[in-house]
Structure 1
Amino acid sequence: MKTLFKSQDLWDLVENGFVDTDEPNQQLRDTCKKDSKALFMIQQAVDDEIFPQIAAATTSKEAWEILKKEYLGDEKVISIKLQTLRRDFENLSMGEKESVEEYLCRVSAIVGQRKTYGDDVDNETVVSKVLRSLISKFNHVVSAIEESKDLTTYDFDILKSSLIAHEERINRTSEKVDEKAFQVKGVSNKEKYDNSGGRDRGRDRGRGGFRGRGCGGDNH
């Protein structure tokens, strides 16, 4: 909803409201019209169970505040939840067996929750957190990004694409190494088998010849 309001240039009205006066003018009429539009959008977005709670609201800000309290809780509850989310964000770190995409989804989820509760997390904070919490196999690409990019403007989505591409290259290299090792092991086992078989056949021939001579001697 917040994104929708911003796209319609209504978010400032919803968030901050406006001052009504007894002396209407064209600007105030335009503001009231825009606020009515925002209020209508809110009314259309809520389900039938919630609508009665905002039915008496006369401004979009009033309706929005009712919804915030309904879904997020009062100021004390919001403060406690934000403290928890900020702590969770600071404690984030990538798991050794976790893909970078899975990890970045966890990061995005916590950032999204913080923003839902009104905590405006800037892009630099998120990018910096990700770079310092990746596992060691990303050290090379992290160093390259920190040296070549301005983290104040480096977009999170671009970072995500770069890290995923880097991980794919690592995985492809690892697969090739494993495949080569498997092939070498297969050749080694084959050589061992052939050598072992050769010795056995030699022993068999030796045993066979001995028995032949023995039998021949008995016949004489």
Structure 2
Amino acid sequence: MALIPHGGAGGSTVSFPCPVLTPTNYTVWAIKVEANLDAQGLWEAVVPAEDAAEAIIAKKDKTARAYLLGALSEDILLQVSSKKTAAEVWASLKARFVGADRVRAARLSTLRGNFDRLIMADGEELDVYAGKISGMAAKYANLGATLSDAEMVKKILDTVPDDLFTAVAGIEQFCDVETVCFDEVLGRLKSFQERSERRKVALGGERRQDQLLLTAAQWEAQRRARVGGHDDDVGNGADLGKRGKCYYCGIRGHFERDCRKKKKEKQAEALLVDDQPGLY
């Protein structure tokens, strides 16, 4: 970890740590190094301004170069140790890790494909997903390209899960998605998500009670349908075996074999036959 002291107000000294550059972390490393050198007033030694005095640049150059060399792994350090200025060290590193124009174009194309395929996974935190999108913007900038706020806003609005679509509709209705900044959209989505979570917790018990009541009502309707709507008989303990519908007279409460109407009509037919012997 490279450290460089920075003289602050009142003679205080602040050390700025920087991770060591490796073959895989150049993008993050470059962002931190630029911020640290700029905070110490040394960045103009790496990228001189047009009106910068050569004497001032030369005075800051040794400190900036020492900081850069101290933030390199041994194998990378040996390859740039012959560079005499901080600007030369920085340009050499950038050429190696960013590459020539052809390599840069290929990496930018790959990066665009990765951005297009980016989607929020189920259960993924909104902050984590937003961090991935912001990280893409930093990688674009490192390749000399720009990922605009409008593109980032469109990406997050198009790829959030279904439970945030209500917030997406509100943002699209009341905000100009072409000009609204990414951080504002993220803040609105987070606010909606937190409010939704609080509402779910608050209404959880009431919803369970409604579900139980609905189930009880459905059960009661099914019970009444089974017994034909005769609640009094159920209350009096009537024999459920005789609660069928008679297929002869159509009256409920007995089976066809016990139908009194059928028995009476059979008896009447028998008497009629006895009174007319000529029919035999």
TM-score, normalised by the number of residues in structure 2? 0.55
Contact 1:17 / 1:61 at 8 angstroms: preserved in 2? no
**CA-to-aligned-CA distance 1:138-160 (integer Å, 9 cap, x gap):** 2113332329xx93xx5533432
Q: 1:204 to 1:51 in 2, by over 3 A?
A: farther
Q: Aligned residue for 2:135?
A: 109
- Determine if the alignment matches structure 1 residue 8 to structure 2 residue 36: no
**2:251 corresponds to which residue?**
none
How many residues align? The count is 196
Cα gap change, 1:4/1:12 in structure 2, threshold over 3 Å: closer, same or farther? same
1:66 aligns with 2:92: yes
The answer (yes or no) to whether the contact 1:39–1:60 under 8 Å persists in 2 is yes
SS in 2 for 1:9: coil
Q: 2:55 aligns with which of 14, 24, 29?
A: 29
Instruction: For 1:85, give the aligned amino acid.
Output: L
Any stretches of 5+ residues in structure 1 without a counterpart?
19-26, 209-220
- How far did residue 43 of structure 1 move? 0.8
Distance across 1 between alignment mates of 2:40 and 2:195: 42
Distance 1:11 1:118, change over 3 A: farther
RMSD: 3.9
C-alpha distance 159-10 of structure 1, shift in aligned 2 (>3 A): farther
CA 1:13–1:119 in 2, change beyond 3 Å: closer, same or farther? farther
Distance 1:33 1:124, change over 3 A: farther
Q: CA deviation at 1:106?
A: 2.5
Q: TM-score scaled by structure 1?
A: 0.67
Aligned to 1:81: 107
Mark the CA change 1:204 to 1:42 in structure 2 (over 3 Å): closer, same or farther.
farther
- Mark the structure with the bigger radius of gyration: 2
Q: Which structure 2 residues correspond to residues 28-177 of structure 1 after superposition, within 5 A?
A: 28-89=54-115, 92=118, 100-123=126-149, 126-127=152-153, 130-131=156-157, 136-137=165-166, 138-146=168-176, 151=179, 155-174=181-200
Identity of aligned residues (%): 20
Contact kept, 8 Å, 1:17 with 1:59, in 2: the verdict is no
Once the two structures are superposed, the pairs formed by residues 208-219 of structure 1 within 5 Å of their partners are none
8 Å CA contact 1:17–1:60 kept in 2: the answer is no
| 4+ residue runs over 6 A deviation | none
User: 1:15 deviation in Å?
Assistant: 3.3
Alignment deviations for residues 65-116 of structure 1 (CA, whole Å, 9 cap, x no partner): 2222333333321221112223443565656876543432221121122123
Contact 2:45 2:58 (C-alpha < 8 Å) held by counterparts: no
Spell out, residue by residue over 1:11-65, the C-alpha distance to the aligned partner (whole angstroms, 9 max, x if none): 34313599xxxxxxxx433211112221111011112222111211101121112
The one-letter amino acid of 1:7's match is A
